[in-house]
Structure 1
């Protein structure tokens, strides 16, 4: 026995394939019609797997939501960090680069924006730890950008970073829910203004 059978894939490869198909299906369905409107049956039909196979990959819809959300966050963190690294070393230019990339990357695909800023909240308290982990990751980016500010900031840096994350989150929720959505450039301008005021740039 080689451990390979159906379509030349091993059991581990088949499991990984099913898991990936579920994540792909959930990325679209959790964004629209939304987390609560998406049943496990619908996810399985879209992913072309059995209901039993779902539970071989994920323990629940919330577990699948966590996987989708984590991937969205990981991709966004990578993109934002790269933009900041490429920016000129001044505080203002690094702020602009990071915010502009965050807003543009998240809004480039409305599914990502809805998952990260709307549906993860609708998934309930089971996703609270995931959201807190994300806030921590983005606050560390902000704190890293401003750590070399030559003058004392008006507030403790970590708390200030948390407040700024809340502000940009609300701007993106507005982008998701408003009809029509505000232009992304306006969202970027508003966020940059808030950050500049906070850091005295």
Structure 2
């Protein structure tokens, strides 16, 4: 007698205990993880789709089910890693900070700590993907918008909104350049010192905004 569940299950729906959807998600995750490792270790131009597939142990045909090409892959990985970083900063920000320093210090500490603990992610976020100028600009604006939303927990809404938006963009760009310098010098500086410097830098800019 055929069991009802098996009678309606399409051929190939499960394999090795995984459903079709689970296998698809697993392949995409392996490709993204392999790309993160390779793009962190070498420049974008030196990494090939074939190398990514080999490291991920995935056939090329599966690569093209998820990504158009190498650039699409890098952008996807960069978006994923940057979103992870922003989520960590948001989670660290206190809901009702007493002052600007109380808001910024845990955010900057989370930022530096996450990057120090995940150097591959750090290099992909700040070194490799930003070589694509349009993507770099979009990320700066997105990050500035997040910082702006969090800053409103401690600083009242500005009288000059455009001025605040430009200040936040300059702040994020400055923090980015400091982090790039830190990465390029091997991340040898004490992360706590870097977080303190970034906190002071951000607080000085934002406190003088008005």
TM-score by length of 2: 0.82
1:156 paired with 2:163, answer yes
CA distance in 1, matches of 2:205, 2:18: 54
Alpha-carbon distance, 1:11 to partner: 3.4
Which consecutive unaligned segments of at least 5 residues does structure 2 have?
A: 1-7
Aligned residue in 1 for 2:127: 118
Aligned length: 197
1:136 paired with 2:141, answer yes
CA distance in 2, matches of 1:97, 1:153: 27
1:17 paired with 2:26, answer yes
Q: Does structure 2 retain, via aligned residues, the 8 Å contact 1:79–1:101? A: yes
Alpha-carbon distance, 1:79 to partner: 1.0
TM-score by length of 1: 0.85
Alpha-carbon distance, 1:192 to partner: 1.5
Alpha-carbon distance, 1:72 to partner: 0.9
CA RMSD of aligned residues (A): 2.5
Q: SS of 2:83's equivalent? A: helix
Aligned residue in 1 for 2:5: none
1:197 paired with 2:196, answer no
Report which of the two structures shows the higher radius of gyration computed on alpha carbons. Answer: 2
Alpha-carbon distance, 1:56 to partner: 1.5
Alpha-carbon distance, 1:152 to partner: 6.3
Aligned residue in 1 for 2:66: 57
CA distance in 2, matches of 1:139, 1:77: 11
Which consecutive unaligned segments of at least 5 residues does structure 1 have?
A: none
CA distance in 1, matches of 2:43, 2:96: 36
CA distance in 2, matches of 1:100, 1:153: 29
1:77 paired with 2:86, answer yes
Q: Does structure 1 retain, via aligned residues, the 8 Å contact 2:90–2:150? A: no
Q: SS of 2:33's equivalent? A: helix
Aligned residue in 2 for 1:7: 16
CA distance in 1, matches of 2:151, 2:92: 15
Runs of 4+ that moved beyond 6 A: 151-155
